[in-house]
A and B are shown apart, each in its own frame.
Chain A
Amino acid sequence: MTSSHSKLYSDDVSLVVVVVDTNPFFWAEAALPFANFFEHLVHFVNSILLLNHLNRVVVIAAGVSSCAYIFDSSDATAPGGAGVAATFDKTKHKVKEFIDQDALATKGNSSVDSNNAASLLSGALSLALCYIQRIFRSGTRHPQPRILCLQGSRDGPEQYVAVMNSIFSAQRSMVPIDSCIVGTQDSAFLQQASYITGGVYLKPQELNGLFEYLAAVFATDLHSRTFLRLPKTLGVDFRASCFCHKKTIDMGYVCSVCLSIFCKNQKKCSTCGSEFSRVMPDLNSMPDQSK
């Protein structure tokens, strides 16, 4: 899907918001060490900034209990070699700070299960979308935004509603969400996100060549994507998770008012509060009763 150019942007200037999954539970067991991953990421960010001098990149880290902005290219101070080193240092520092914060928050948060911890994708997407909205309101000439999610950990079904809401708002603002899965399992949320918003979903086979994947597939701006043939998924997992227990289900009950999904028959919808009355028999369809 190409974004209809109803707003006045320049054609190939892009704003890429990269959402990085910094879930330590995942990275502790990952095949690709975090340090290498970070290098690939840095190279990728640099190459985007090199493609067009007006390009902008924002990096958001999604942790276990919190999210934060790590890097914003419009903050860059002096160009040139010295500037690069300083920026890099600053970024590293920020990441460390964020991890410490996250550690503190996770300790205090008892609901985090070490085996199944999921990163806060919904929070990160919301941060990204807010930033993009600010850009939209900054004037008539602004870059075309898109979101790139580098996800490793699994989806948390408890975030289903929030993630779907952010996906729909991205769809409305015409912001494509690309996803690159560096973990082992496919992520249903991101598959749906990329499908609905018209982004690219990719699960690379060779993680050591991650930079190559990123540069070949995700670095192109939206305008050029109309001429390029990018990898397509064959299947999208459209299963939803139920609103009551957050289990993934493929057959369940749907409230006719707000369309929320439940796995068990309920008397009252917890989202919109509408009562489900007992199903009244349809009297007219009963056969004629003889007098």
Chain B
Amino acid sequence: CFRDSPPAVSFLGILPFPPRGPRSRRLGFEEARWRALGQKLCPSPPSIPFLSSIHTDAGEGARLASLQGGPAMGSMTIGAKYKTTVKDPGTPGVLRMVRKNEDKFTFTPNDPRSAMKLNVDFRGIKGHKFNKVDGSKRAPPLLNLFKDSEKGGGYIFEFDNVANRDLCRDFVARVLGKHQGSVPSRSNVPPENLGASNGPEQLSAEEVDRRMKLLREDSELQKLHKKFVLGNILQESEFWATRKNLLDDEANKASKQKPGFKSAMLADVRPSADGRTNKITFNLTTEIIHQIFAEKPAVHRAFLDFVPKKMSEKDFWTKYCRAEYLLRTKNTVAAAAEAAEDEELAVFLKNDDILAKEAKFKIKRVDPTLDMEADVGDDYIHLPDHGILRDGSKETVDNDSELARRTLSQDLNRHAAVVLEGRASDVELIDAKTVAEALVRSKKEPSSTSSADDANRERLVKVARMTEIEDLQAPRSLPYAPLCIKDPRDYFDSQQANALGSFGGNNDGRKVRNCRLSTDDVFHHLRDQISSIKINKLDDPVVKSDMSLKVLNELNEGISRSRRLNLKNPQESLLGRLPQHTRDELMDHWTAIQELLRHFWSSYPITNVVLYNKVCLHHLFLYTFASLGSIQVQRVKDAMTQIYHKLQTVKESAQPDVRHEISQLVKPMTQALDAAFNHDLEQQQKSSKVGSKFNGF
């Protein structure tokens, strides 16, 4: 009659022959796998080792099933049952997954006579599936490792509890992720292996989400990420270490706006009728239930009262739907009859008394300075004789009948009022029970203010007007003084001139002349000069006319030259004259170089401090540490040499007419790389000197 809202992920055993389910179930698996990587679907327990059931059979299979180690575990041993099909009762045994030199898993049955031994390499496993386990369905937790999604052929393991299964599942996910590089994605989402990549970094699901969102939005960042992280030059943590501010901004941007109710009247559920079997079906999703509770407080109260004490949830909703159906049809007689029979049904058929009370309250609280005449008669929401009744009839009806006659305008007004009130909480709508409870919690607040006196109320109103509207405020990111580069072109063009070695025009060869006189002499000289200043000398023209003309010309020329060199017009600039692909290539190289250099320079002090620290007991440890540090640097250096060579080829392959410009642009890049290589060489020479001291060890 009705189904739960999000399609439940149900497990279909993959058998040695192709699955015969409809397509939609297949997608459910992908979704499940995808969610497994994000660790959203089944909350996995913290990875603390615990003892699983002990199999006391003799033989090779007898082992304490235990979990070893934390996230960077090399192997996992756990008790499980191996099944060839879902229906198979399963062979109990021990499942052991190893991740050392070769990744494989073995299954050893408890019964040494059984032939169900397995020793499978993870390379052959293409994927894994698992089923969702919840209280209502009695299904054992299953994990399926399949070879090929088309043909099937896999291994099904049943576990004693969900926790075990989840741990195995995570382990398998990591192994598979490592093997396949990046998990093949059906959708266009950039690097999915963020969650499954190597490294013991524990990332929360939101962190992973944020990173991917950033990568999706910024294609430059994505390119860099692809080049370096997936090319195994840099690690994830290093890459994101410098971009913390971006991630934090993302987090702050997470909208504080609460989505409100839809303006469509979902509470007005329409059944679908099945002409053949005389059945009508109501579809109730959690969203609809939420709206129903919000709009009809009497139903909400009934739900809290009746469920689960008097009737189950399913029964409740059945009755509600029946009541709706009766109201919708013009069958007042039948409605009255049923109401007389069934108490609970009658609840739904009556007028909503909670609403009526609320409306009366509101009328009483109208500001008397605004409307002196407000009274009960203005409660047009609940008065009869207004509007068109839902079933289209217009005649008034006696008020004795307890059955509710709802008018369209009443329903619309109520819905509008609820929408404007907004959603009070952000509770995830999992099922009707939580929704009901959440609403109860949120409704507690208004009742307290209804008892406030007039003065208080006015004050509150004023305060409400003055408070900030959170939604409309800009996100509060970390307080920092903003960098103020007024004209970036100014700055960067001037740096270019710096690099080219020219400084503010031609030097006219004025040399610094060091003062050879003593202090006293010097001061004397100055004093003499001052005395020689005579007032009548001021009458002469202070600057001769030809001199002044010269100055003016020079100033003008200087200004126009600086304009030319600063190149306000972007088309004429250095970059603009190059063909598009060269320009893009150079820009790519430049961003890559910057990234690499950043990592290069940041890793240097490790080797420095370590190498120079001679007073210690752990020479060997430090020495190995120095070499570890240099492994990181080595990766970066290799990448840098690659780019260096690429730059050379770019220069050489350039067209002769733009060759000069290209070499000008490439020069700062090569200079930066050269400085880095030189520094590295120095360090290596120093380390080799120090290293020779350790040779004795």
Contact = CB atoms under 8 A, between A and B. Distances in A.
Interface of A: 1, 22, 24-29, 31, 33-35, 38-40, 42-43, 85, 88-89, 92, 95-96, 99-100, 102-103, 106-107, 112, 114-115, 154, 184-186, 198, 201, 203-206, 208-213, 216-217, 229-237, 265, 278-279, 281, 284-286, 288, 290-291
Contacts of B565: 234
A34 B529 contact: yes
A42 B495 contact: no
Given A96-B527, A185-B512, A229-B559, A209 B548 contact: yes
Q: Which 7 A-B pairs have the closest CB atoms?
A: A234-B497, A209-B551, A34-B529, A212-B551, A24-B522, A24-B526, A103-B523
Interface string B191-208: 000000001110000000
Nearest to B509: A184
A235 B566 CA distance: 10
A284 to B, nearest CB: 6
20 contacts: A25-B515, A26-B515, A28-B521, A43-B538, A106-B519, A106-B523, A209-B547, A211-B543, A213-B551, A229-B563, A230-B559, A231-B558, A231-B559, A234-B502, A234-B503, A265-B608, A278-B613, A281-B625, A284-B201, A285-B235
Nearest to B510: A184
Nearest to A289: B72
B609 A279 contact: yes
Interface string B607-647: 01100010000000000010011001000000000000000
A285 B602 CA distance: 14
A63 to B, nearest CB: 10
Nearest to B628: A286
B476 interface: no
Interface in B490-524: 493-495, 497-498, 502-506, 508, 510-515, 517-523
Nearest to B101: A290
A30 to B, nearest CB: 9
A27 B525 CA distance: 9
B533 interface: yes
B537 A233 contact: no
Interface residues of B, number: 73
B551 A42 contact: no
Contacts of B515: 25-26, 28-29, 114-115
Contacts of B504: 186, 201, 203, 233-235
Contacts of A209: 543, 547-548, 550-551
Contacts of B506: 205
B547 A208 contact: yes
Contacts of A29: 513-515
Given A33-B529, A290-B100, 6 more contacts: A29-B515, A114-B522, A205-B508, A205-B554, A212-B552, A235-B494
A235 B503 contact: yes
A290 B74 contact: yes
B465 interface: no
Contacts of B527: 96, 99-100
Interface string B157-190: 0000000000000000000000000000000000
B559 A216 contact: no
Contact of A28 (B75, B525, B554, B608): B525
B265 to A, nearest CB: 53
A205 B550 CA distance: 10
A212 B526 contact: no
Contacts of B551: 204, 206, 209, 212-213, 216
Contacts of A28: 515, 517, 521-522, 525-526
A25 B529 CA distance: 13
A190 B19 CA distance: 79
A35 B503 CA distance: 30
A114 B486 CA distance: 41
Nearest to A232: B562
A291 B283 CA distance: 55
A248 B324 CA distance: 85
B605 interface: yes
Contacts of B510: 31, 184
A39 B498 contact: no
B554 A99 contact: no
A194 to B, nearest CB: 12
A210 to B, nearest CB: 8
B555 A95 contact: no
A203 B508 CA distance: 11
Contacts of B521: 28
B448 interface: no
Q: Which of B69, B515, B559, B625 has the most CB of A within 10 A?
A: B515
A210 B548 CA distance: 9
A1 to B, nearest CB: 6
A1 B543 contact: no
Contact of B533 (A92, A100, A206, A217): A92
Given A88-B535, A230-B559, A231-B559, A236 B494 contact: yes
Contacts of A291: 68-69, 74-75
B333 interface: no
B548 A212 contact: yes
